[in-house]
Amino acid sequence: MNVLVADADEESRLELSSLIKEFFSEKGEPVTIFEVGTGSQAQMTISLNDVDMIFIDVRLPHKDGLSILRDLRADDIDTTVVFVSSMSVQSIIERAKELDIDDYICKPFSDVTIKEKLAKLSAQTG
């Protein structure tokens, strides 16, 4: 499983990456985490790697999460995408749903929330 974690906030990025590693480790599944802090880095990582799941902040420097999601879907890439953001603005969530987002997590998030989302998404993709 290759997972991209794109978040400008380093603390959130590291915490989320750690929870993802722990989740897949407990399941005995190998996981590679790509951690980036900007939209342009996220886009580059996606173009160079076979990414199975993306956790991405809505607001990123250089290119926002909605634009990246829009580009993925325009290219018929159906990678699992989860927005992770401190913004719970309904209009953003609705636009993301129109672009076929898989889930949305509000910050601050709990360990339980992340593991529940991962279990649900793993079942859908597995």
According to DSSP, the residues that pair with 60 across neighbouring strands are none
Least confident of 13-22, 54-63, 87-96, 97-106: 87-96
Q: Please name each of the domains of the chain with its CATH number.
A: 2-119 (3.40.50.2300)
User: For residues 43 and 14, is the Cβ–Cβ distance under 8 A?
Assistant: no
Q: How far apart are CA 40 and CA 123, in angstroms?
A: 30
Mean pLDDT of 37-59: 95
Average the pLDDT over 60-69 and give the result. Answer: 93
* pTM attached to this predicted model: 0.92
Q: Is the pLDDT of residue 20 over 80?
A: yes
Q: What pLDDT score does 118 carry?
A: 94
pLDDT score at 124: 80
